[in-house]
Structure 1
Amino acid sequence: MQLPPEDRTLSPHTGYTRAHWEAAADALLAAVEPYATEDRALYHLPGDRESWSGRLSDGLEGYARTLLLAAFRQDATALERYADGLAAGVSGVWPRIADRSQPLVEAASIAFALRITKPLLWDRLDDAVRQRTAAWLDERAHRRGLALQLGAVPGHGGRFLSSVGHDPDASRKAIDRGLERIEQWYVGEGWYTDGDGRKFDYYNGWAMHLYPVLHAWLAQDDRLLDLYGGRLSRHLDDYARLFGADGAPMHQGRSLTYRFATTVPLWLGALTGHTPLPPGETRRLASGALKYFLDRGAVDSRGLLTLGWHGPDSAVLQGYSGPASPYWASKGFLGLLLPADHEVWTAVEEPGPAERSDAVTSIAAPNWLLQSTRSDGLVRLHNHGSEDVRYDPYYTRLAYSTVTEPSESYDNSLIVGGDPNRTEIEPLGVGEGWAASRHRAAGGARVSSVVLARGAVEVRAFLVSGAEPGTPVRVTGWAARDGVRAELLPAVGLDDELSGVTGEGDTLFVALARLTADADAVPLGETVTVRAVGEGELTVVWSGGSETRVRLDGSGVEITAGG
Structure 2
Amino acid sequence: MPEHPLPASLPAEDRGLSPHTGYTRAHWETAADRLLTSALRYATPGQALIDLPGPPSKSGVRSDGLEGFARTFLLAAFRTAGASGKDPHGFLERYTAGLARGTRTPGRDDAESWPEIGHHNIQGQPMVESASVALALRLTAPWTWDTLPADDQDRVEQWLRGALRHTPAPNNWYLFPLTVAGFLESAGRGDAETRGAIERGLGLLDGWYQGQGWYSDGDGRSFDHYNGWALHMYPLLHAHLAGDRALLDQLGPRLREFLEGFALLFDANGAPIHHGRSLTYRFAAVAAVALGAVTGVTPLAPGVTRRILSGALRHFLDRGALTADGILSLGWYGPHEATLQRYSGPGSPYWASKGFLGLLLPPEDPVWTATEESAPSEGRDRVLALSAPGLLIQTTGRDGLARLHNHGSYKLDSREPERAPGNPLYARLAYSTRTGPTSAANAPDNHIALTVRGTRSARIRINPLSAGPDWLASWHRPVFPEDGPVLPSARIESLTLARGRLELRVHRTVGVPAGTPIHHSGWAVALSPEAAAAAEAELRAEIRLDGPEVTSQLLGLHGWQTQRTVRAPQGTAYGPWALVPELTGTVGEDPADAVFASLASLTGEGDPAPLAGQATAEVSGLTVTVRWADGTRTVVDFGNGVRTLPTVTEVPA
Fold similarity call, TM over 0.5 = yes
- Structure 2 equivalent of residue 412 of structure 1: 446
For 1:219-368, what aligned pairs fall within 5 Å after superposition? 219-368=242-391
Report how far residue 141 of structure 1 moved. 2.2
- Structure 2 equivalent of residue 426 of structure 1: 463
Letter in 1 for 2:345: G
Report how far residue 423 of structure 1 moved. 2.5
Q: Secondary structure at the match of 1:370?
A: strand
Q: Secondary structure at the match of 2:103?
A: helix
Is the 2:445–2:523 contact (alpha carbons within 8 Å) kept by the matching residues of 1? Answer: yes
Letter in 2 for 1:61: E
- Structure 2 equivalent of residue 531 of structure 1: 618
Going from structure 1 to structure 2, the CA distance change for 1:167 and 1:456 (only over 3 Å counts) comes to: closer
Letter in 2 for 1:543: A
Percent identity, please: 50
Letter in 2 for 1:491: L
TM-score by length of 2: 0.84
- Structure 1 equivalent of residue 153 of structure 2: 130
- Structure 2 equivalent of residue 80 of structure 1: 93
For 1:15-414, what aligned pairs fall within 5 Å after superposition? 15-47=22-54, 49-74=55-80, 76=87, 77-92=90-105, 93-100=113-120, 101-143=124-166, 145=168, 148-150=171-173, 152-389=175-412, 391-407=422-438, 408-414=442-448
Q: Secondary structure at the match of 1:26?
A: helix
Report how far residue 430 of structure 1 moved. 2.2
- Structure 1 equivalent of residue 628 of structure 2: 542
1:495 to 549, 556, 561: 561
Tell me the distance in 2 between the aligned counterparts of 1:302 and 1:81: 20
Q: Secondary structure at the match of 1:165?
A: coil
Tell me the distance in 2 between the aligned counterparts of 1:13 and 1:208: 30
1:435 to 450, 454, 472: 472
- Structure 2 equivalent of residue 511 of structure 1: 598
Is the 1:140–1:146 contact (alpha carbons within 8 Å) kept by the matching residues of 2? Answer: no
Asked if residue 477 in structure 1 is aligned to residue 514 in structure 2, the reply is no
Q: Secondary structure at the match of 1:354?
A: coil
Going from structure 1 to structure 2, the CA distance change for 1:267 and 1:215 (only over 3 Å counts) comes to: same
Q: Secondary structure at the match of 2:277?
A: coil
Tell me the distance in 1 between the aligned counterparts of 2:498 and 2:194: 50
Tell me the distance in 2 between the aligned counterparts of 1:167 and 1:486: 56
Report how far residue 522 of structure 1 moved. 2.1
Report how far residue 318 of structure 1 moved. 0.3
Tell me the distance in 1 between the aligned counterparts of 2:390 and 2:21: 32
Report how far residue 321 of structure 1 moved. 0.1
Tell me the distance in 2 between the aligned counterparts of 1:35 and 1:204: 31
Unpaired runs of at least 5, structure 1: none
Q: Secondary structure at the match of 2:562?
A: coil
1:6 to 3, 13, 18: 13
Report how far residue 503 of structure 1 moved. 1.5
Q: Secondary structure at the match of 2:23?
A: coil
Deviations 1:325-382 (A, max 9, x none): 0000011111111000000000000101111211111112211111111111111111
Deviations 1:403-438 (A, max 9, x none): 000013200001211424012311012212211001
Tell me the distance in 2 between the aligned counterparts of 1:39 and 1:307: 26
Moved more, 75-84 or 52-61: 75-84
Letter in 1 for 2:279: L
- Aligned residue pairs: how many? 561
Letter in 2 for 1:273: G
Report how far residue 520 of structure 1 moved. 4.5
2:648 to 556, 559, 562: 559
Unpaired runs of at least 5, structure 2: 1-5, 81-85, 106-112, 413-418, 480-485, 527-547, 564-582
Tell me the distance in 2 between the aligned counterparts of 1:426 and 1:24: 42
Q: Tell me the C-alpha RMSD between the 2 structures.
A: 1.4
Report how far residue 540 of structure 1 moved. 1.1
Going from structure 1 to structure 2, the CA distance change for 1:148 and 1:384 (only over 3 Å counts) comes to: closer
Report how far residue 182 of structure 1 moved. 2.0
Deviations 1:18-76 (A, max 9, x none): 000000000000001110011111000011x1111111100000000000011001153
Report how far residue 145 of structure 1 moved. 3.8
Moved more, 247-256 or 385-394: 385-394
Report how far residue 147 of structure 1 moved. 6.8
Tell me the distance in 1 between the aligned counterparts of 2:73 and 2:15: 32
Is the 1:142–1:171 contact (alpha carbons within 8 Å) kept by the matching residues of 2? Answer: no
Letter in 1 for 2:146: D
Tell me the distance in 2 between the aligned counterparts of 1:223 and 1:123: 29
Report how far residue 151 of structure 1 moved. 7.9
Going from structure 1 to structure 2, the CA distance change for 1:552 and 1:99 (only over 3 Å counts) comes to: same
Going from structure 1 to structure 2, the CA distance change for 1:147 and 1:427 (only over 3 Å counts) comes to: closer
Is the 1:31–1:304 contact (alpha carbons within 8 Å) kept by the matching residues of 2? Answer: yes
Q: Secondary structure at the match of 1:178?
A: helix
Report how far residue 525 of structure 1 moved. 1.0
Letter in 2 for 1:539: T
Tell me the distance in 2 between the aligned counterparts of 1:221 and 1:244: 35
Report how far residue 544 of structure 1 moved. 1.0
Is the 1:466–1:505 contact (alpha carbons within 8 Å) kept by the matching residues of 2? Answer: no
Report how far residue 240 of structure 1 moved. 0.2
For 1:458-469, what aligned pairs fall within 5 Å after superposition? 458-469=503-514
Q: Secondary structure at the match of 1:332?
A: helix
Moved more, 236-245 or 361-370: 361-370
Deviations 1:109-156 (A, max 9, x none): 100000010111111111110011111112222445477444842511
Tell me the distance in 1 between the aligned counterparts of 2:600 and 2:170: 41
Moved more, 342-351 or 385-394: 385-394
Is the 1:41–1:63 contact (alpha carbons within 8 Å) kept by the matching residues of 2? Answer: yes
Report how far residue 450 of structure 1 moved. 0.6
Tell me the distance in 2 between the aligned counterparts of 1:169 and 1:149: 22
Report how far residue 279 of structure 1 moved. 0.3
Report how far residue 441 of structure 1 moved. 1.1
Tell me the distance in 1 between the aligned counterparts of 2:190 and 2:216: 32
Tell me the distance in 2 between the aligned counterparts of 1:483 and 1:334: 30
Is the 2:171–2:217 contact (alpha carbons within 8 Å) kept by the matching residues of 1? Answer: no
Is the 2:170–2:219 contact (alpha carbons within 8 Å) kept by the matching residues of 1? Answer: no
Going from structure 1 to structure 2, the CA distance change for 1:146 and 1:479 (only over 3 Å counts) comes to: closer
Report how far residue 186 of structure 1 moved. 1.0
TM-score by length of 1: 0.97
Moved more, 78-87 or 94-103: 94-103
2:552 to 471, 482, 486: 486
Letter in 2 for 1:446: R
Report how far residue 171 of structure 1 moved. 1.3
